[in-house]
Structure 1
């Protein structure tokens, strides 16, 4: 119920958009009845069915262009521009499709498609404008606001509270404050003890109990060094986390802020990869994995025989790892160690020149051939080609306690290769993991298809040079 409430703007807007687009199909048909067959001439499912198909087409275009991302109290101008960009892309694709029909002149086809695209744009832009205007009206009257809490009980927290209370169109209803240092709020600040919901170590329970959607961090300047610890406690993909920056950050340009009604806010870990890139990444994962498994089939057979007859144990090594959002899965690799290598030691890190590695396993690791079965994990959706390497639950628990923000690695699918693998040396120590985590977090914050391509190219070069370990 809570997650459904979180996406209510997207659900409501997408349903209304679909109905508007379908209405536009009928409206355009009334005025230009002979032109609609140009748009969908090969789909013989009746006029209404054709309207459903082309409405779904437009919906896909809008999803791919990110027109359903962050709709809550979005700027009406920004939304107008998003609708315009999506409409232009939709029209360009229809240009290409209709020009293949050859039934009428290209000029007439372009005129019809342009007019139809303009109709869709006009209807959707008007629809979005009305929705956001109504939403803004309700927000100004304190209705439909996101439930929020403020971390901090000092002057900065009180200032943020007053601004949010005064400017309802910021979209947050502050339910209370969270103590950071364990001390009761200073009476001179103006925050009552009854307004304090609890301390930072209780924030997980508080967020669940109060169904919090937004968390605003407003610490005093002398507490800024503890910001990482605070962010670690509120590390949840379902919570929008914002910071109140200090004056130096704003004037130096070190932080990109959203300036609304005089209250600057920094959004922590906004999702950088738009939906169309996520979709493309997943399709690319599937395509490359299928091709890789087919091409490497002879290698798979040879390696299977080599592993089977050079050491005792199975060909495929299976191990439970932690994937996206903390969900566990079984990773598949060619076995490179002797059977029961950890029987007497329990879970331990792999080392350079690890004595547990077989002679065949050494070369499989060096050429990264041992990871070929992981393409099956990619096909299943447990992994991606690019992402942070998945760890075992034992180590994830240990790292979570010792490395700040480590769990942010779990916001994306783990990968066969990643930024940390191509940029940092191999090693088996907490310090090494700490350094690799920095690279993983950098990847998550800057994820894009371009960066994935860069990582894949570097990985291929590493394999060619035989620098794997």
Structure 2
């Protein structure tokens, strides 16, 4: 079942369940004279539709429409119970309490809450049951690559075969061996291996039996780094969604390299459980239909905070652009009048998951500033910066067009600043864990910006990375609010760079 079909099915069964619960509640009110009920008509249907929309919004805030691939149904029911309890109490104390007859509130809350919970739960269990049946038949499985020592690769493959409901299809491997044979790239079942440029000394090895037919494998002996360096190529070539790590507790350096090459990519990282002690608080244990795995770098923010953050992004950005439209148009005209060239500067940046997007800014440098030098950071007192541009940088007004990028969903109000692909490639090689910044949406402002300012050299980037990683690991709406207030203060006082 594709993600789109899953989401459509959940929305459909939830709407049907909520509608049925509402009809049952109306019938109970008439039967036991709990509340005056208007005849079924356009007005009643409109109220029922608005009520269902409110419930669906609440379910979305709780993360019940997020990707819960092959997760346990019990956890979903527990989350649903919490949402229904909260929603029922808010609805009755906020709207129905004054309309109910004396003494009927308790029964009404209990009946309506139980109806919503029961009907929605039944619908969702049907969807999950169909989803599981499709997975068992090989449809909609997650494509995975395993990284680990040869014997553990084989063990994990057999474990996956024992738990087909986990929905994980092993399509490739980076196998590390203690055998002294040279590093090699293995293409199985006629796979050409094209697109995986080999390191020096790499040769094609004979087919093994640890992986299913058609899987692509990279094998290394004595030089794990060479094989692990090929992992991004395997991920892109095979359309991988999960990277399973089967290492030993002593392989800290190897694990670090795997995390570095995968960091910022749109894949989930899961460890074989006995490696838990080496990763400490960075991991979260989970059981996927009986298969114990440990998720590394889980979602840094709860679902409801993530939704609230996005709504705040949209509301604030729309208000800033609409209410300040005359000022922004005037500022654009000033940029064009005070120096040759367009008012808006467009540039490619790297965003969440390593995806490239186009960022918009007011132009603060002379037109074609990097035509001869290529990509370079702005330095203190940079002669390429125009007089108006220098003032806009101090007040951070040059960033205003990025509110449009926030509305488009490419950026957030708060997050690590996006960097250009040229610098990302260089910095990812020079600075460990640099790509971890791409776990979240980039922002117009961020903790590193209010604490450190603009980048001028590699050392600035190293220092700002500390703030970015701290922000990601402690991400919350409260922290976003503090950063926004500090940014407003910087803008008003003109303390930017």
TM-score by length of 1: 0.79
From 10, 14, 19, the counterpart of 1:13: 10
Residues 90-145 of structure 1: CA deviation (Å, up to 9, x unaligned): 21332245248x55546546643442122111223344456656766887898875
Q: CA deviation at 1:47?
A: 5.2
CA distance 1:279–1:259, change in 2 (3 Å)? closer
Aligned to 2:198: none
Distance 1:83 1:179 in 2: 41
Are 2:360 and 1:331 aligned? yes
Distance 2:460 2:275 in 1: 35
Matches within 5 A, 1:241-256: 241-244=269-272, 246-247=274-275, 249=277, 255-256=283-284
Aligned to 1:375: 403
Q: Secondary structure at the match of 2:13?
A: helix
Deviates most, 217-226 or 114-123: 217-226
Q: Secondary structure at the match of 1:152?
A: strand
From 165, 170, 173, the counterpart of 1:174: 170
Q: CA deviation at 1:53?
A: 4.0
Q: Indicate if the aligned counterparts of 2:427 and 2:434 stay in contact, CA closer than 8 A.
A: yes
From 385, 390, 395, the counterpart of 2:423: 395
From 62, 66, 70, the counterpart of 1:65: 62
TM-score by length of 2: 0.75
Q: Secondary structure at the match of 2:68?
A: coil
From 147, 151, 155, the counterpart of 1:151: 147
Distance 1:435 1:143 in 2: 46
From 340, 343, 355, the counterpart of 1:316: 343
From 160, 165, 171, the counterpart of 1:164: 160
Q: Indicate if the aligned counterparts of 1:368 and 1:468 stay in contact, CA closer than 8 A.
A: yes
Q: Indicate if the aligned counterparts of 2:287 and 2:293 stay in contact, CA closer than 8 A.
A: yes
Aligned to 1:386: 414
Deviates most, 422-431 or 260-269: 260-269
Deviates most, 38-47 or 388-397: 38-47
Q: Secondary structure at the match of 1:440?
A: helix
Aligned to 1:365: 393
Q: Secondary structure at the match of 1:467?
A: coil
Q: Secondary structure at the match of 1:21?
A: helix
From 121, 124, 138, the counterpart of 1:125: 121
CA distance 1:38–1:61, change in 2 (3 Å)? farther
Q: Secondary structure at the match of 2:80?
A: helix
Are 2:435 and 1:416 aligned? no
Aligned to 1:93: 90
From 73, 76, 79, the counterpart of 1:79: 76
Q: CA deviation at 1:375?
A: 3.0
Q: Secondary structure at the match of 1:66?
A: coil
From 188, 197, 211, the counterpart of 2:216: 197
Aligned to 2:202: none
Distance 1:35 1:332 in 2: 63
Matches within 5 A, 1:420-431: 420-424=448-452, 426-431=454-459
Structure 1 unaligned spans of 5+: none
Q: CA deviation at 1:156?
A: 3.5
Q: CA deviation at 1:276?
A: 3.3
Residues 421-443 of structure 1: CA deviation (Å, up to 9, x unaligned): 13335432234324434433443
Provide the alpha-carbon RMSD of the alignment. 4.3
Residues 194-228 of structure 1: CA deviation (Å, up to 9, x unaligned): 79622245545644665543220113455431334
Q: Indicate if the aligned counterparts of 1:389 and 1:418 stay in contact, CA closer than 8 A.
A: yes
Distance 1:19 1:164 in 2: 36
Aligned to 1:449: 477
Distance 2:57 2:359 in 1: 33
Deviates most, 315-324 or 205-214: 205-214
Distance 2:39 2:391 in 1: 54
Matched positions, count: 462
Q: Secondary structure at the match of 1:321?
A: strand
Residues 28-68 of structure 1: CA deviation (Å, up to 9, x unaligned): 44444479997997996265555444333322221111123
From 214, 222, 238, the counterpart of 2:242: 214
Q: CA deviation at 1:5?
A: 2.3
